[in-house]
Structure 1
Amino acid sequence: MRDWEKAQSTLVHPQRAHPPQLTIQLSSPTTIRCHTDVAWNKESREAGLAWIFTDGEGREISRGCLHQQHVSSSLVAEALAIREALGHAVALNINIIWIRSDCKGLIQSITTNQ
C-alpha cells in the first residue's frame, strides 16, 4: 500500500482548465447595463426574449422584447436575446455596455471565445 501511495504522488495529474474569472468592474460611469432573459417552450419551440437597459444609477433607459419561433433550445434563446439586445444598443448609439444574463454557460462561452 505504501509503495502504491508513493507512486501516486509522483504521477503528473493533468489540471482541469477553468474559464478565467472576470473581474466585475464598470470601466466608466457611462457604462450601460443590459439585463437579458428568456422564456422558452420546449413543445412549441417558441421563445420570448427580453432585455432592459439601465444606467449606473439603475434608471431605465430603454427596453425591448421579441417573440421567436423555431428556437431549438433555451441556450439558443439566451444567445438570441443577447444578440437582439446588442442590436438595440447599436440603434441607440450605446457603445459601452455590460451584458448581464442568468445563463452562466453562455456567458462563459462568450468571454472565453468558445
Structure 2
Amino acid sequence: MDRGRKKRLRDKILQSIDITSTRLSDDEAQELSDFVDDYDSYAGTSTTRERSWKDWSSDGYYRRTETTTDTFMEDGVGIRRETHVHDDDGTEWTDIDEITDGRGILKWLREHG
C-alpha cells in the first residue's frame, strides 16, 4: 500500500477510533477501516461467553462461574465488556471495561473473528 493511501485510511480511522501513536501494518489499517465502514451492522449487538471451573482456597474447593458479555457500543465506536464472576459461596462481582483503541479492537476482532 502506498503512503498516500495509508495516510487516507489512518485519517478516516482517526475520525472514529484512537490510533494516535499506534503503528499499523497495511493489513491492520485496512481491517480497521473496514470495521469503521461496517460499524453500523455491529452497533448494539452482543456476544456472551460463560466458563466455569473448580478452584482451591484455604476454605477448600469452590466453583467459580464467569460470564462475559461484549456489546458493540451505540454511542461511539468500541466494545463494552462486562464480566460477572460468581462463586458458589455467594461471592460475586462485576467488572466493566471499554475497548475503544485501535490495538484493543484489532485484538478483539482476531480473538472472535
TM-score band w.r.t. shorter chain = 0.3 to 0.5
Q: Calculate the TM-score normalised by the size of structure 2.
A: 0.34
Structure number with the bigger relative contact order (C-alpha 8 A, sep ≥ 6) is 1
Q: Calculate the TM-score normalised by the size of structure 1.
A: 0.33
